Amino acid sequence: MRGKKILLGISLVLASVLVFAGTSFCQTAHVMKKLSDHVYLYGVEKDFAPTNSFGANCGVIVGTDAVLVVDTLISAKDAEKFRAEILKLTDKPIKYVVNTHYHLDHAWGNEVFERNGAVVIGHENSRVAAPKSEYGLAHYNDFGLTSADMEGTVLKFPTVTFWNSMRVDLGGGVLVDLSYPGASHTDGSITALVTPDKALFLGDILFTKCHPYLGEGDIPSWIKVLANFERTKAAFIIPGHGPLSTIADIKDMEAYLKDFAFFAKTMLFMKGQQDAVSLAQQFLKKLPQQGRNELSGFVESSLREKYLPKGVLGVLEKK
Ligand SMILES: [Zn+2]
């Protein structure tokens, strides 16, 4: 039930996300960029529409024996395009898919890779979140997606899971260390650190230059997790959404979470129950960090999910 409400909450904001996407964003497709000897980033900086996987970043890590993919986008169609781009880079087998967490824009393309021989790896809490994804795919149009967008999309969940950490050896000294840093964006959000390239994939623990979705977040724990990454020696910091990032972006995200929690508690205390739409408008004026213009609809969904009492607008109950 909680999963259902979370998904409904996300879906409720999509109208505004879509309007924003339609008016403000140029349609920039995902592109592959080489970051270092073994690491590629497949991402966008401008198009955060649902039909473009909300601008989710993916990674490709190439060893001498195998390839590991970080996240698989929102649909079979997008995953097929992503896979075709990988096949242009290397003829090594894509043996592993890692899901940084279970959310649609990071995991609904899994089947394309699994069908072609990859094993899907994730945190144990991402595996047990499967029913939430099943509900979400059954209601894909709530997310602003059409049957054409989702054609051929079949859910596949991690079959290899871990609790704390795990290492994948891709050959030639290329290692991918997967870690669970504690609860943050979800209770199963993990990171991937590539050696020797010093590339750190943070998934949706970090949103840079866009608003984060906080609805399932453990805010106090998330802030601690981010604080620990302030000491990272990584040469490349890859957020779940947004451009290549720096330690300043990690600090900014901490400040955002603190501000958001403070504003939410204060405003709700001072003003009592309000509708999420007007609160979100006020929040957008109060949360100016680093030009977070993209994904502004998440402000409203985060408020609904995280802070507003159930049924403030009666909307969640109607569906
Ligand atoms: Zn997410």
- 239 alpha carbon – ligand 1 mean position (Å): 11
Query: pLDDT tens, 152-209?
Result: 999 999 999 999 999 999 999 999 999 999 999 999 999 999 999 999 999 999 999 9
What confidence score (pLDDT) does residue 308 get? 75
- 295 alpha carbon – ligand 1 mean position (Å): 12
- 101 alpha carbon – ligand 1 mean position (Å): 7
Question: Which of 208, 223, 294, 281 is closest to 257 using CA atoms?
Answer: 223
What confidence score (pLDDT) does residue 271 get? 62
- 172 alpha carbon – ligand 1 mean position (Å): 32
Q: How many CA atoms lie within 13 A of 11 on its CB side?
A: 20
Instruction: Round to whole Å and give the CA distance between 219 and 201.
Output: 20
- 65 alpha carbon – ligand 1 mean position (Å): 30
CB within 8 A of 281, min separation 6: which ones? none
Amino acid at 82: F
pLDDT lower than 50: segments of the chain: 1-27, 311-319
- 214 alpha carbon – ligand 1 mean position (Å): 9
What confidence score (pLDDT) does residue 46 get? 78
Amino acid at 36: S
Query: pLDDT tens, 197-206?
Result: 999 999 999 9
User: Which region, left, alpha or beta, applies to residue 307 given φ > 0 means left and ψ of -120 to 50 means alpha?
Assistant: alpha
- 222 alpha carbon – ligand 1 mean position (Å): 13
State if pTM tops 0.85.
Answer: yes
CB-based contact 97:120 (threshold 8 Å): yes
- 103 alpha carbon – ligand 1 mean position (Å): 5
CA distances from 289 to 44, 54, 108, 116 (A): 20, 20, 30, 42
What confidence score (pLDDT) does residue 23 get? 36
Instruction: Round to whole Å and give the CA distance between 75 and 72.
Output: 8
- 72 alpha carbon – ligand 1 mean position (Å): 12
Residues paired with residue 203 on neighbouring β-strands, in sequence order: 239
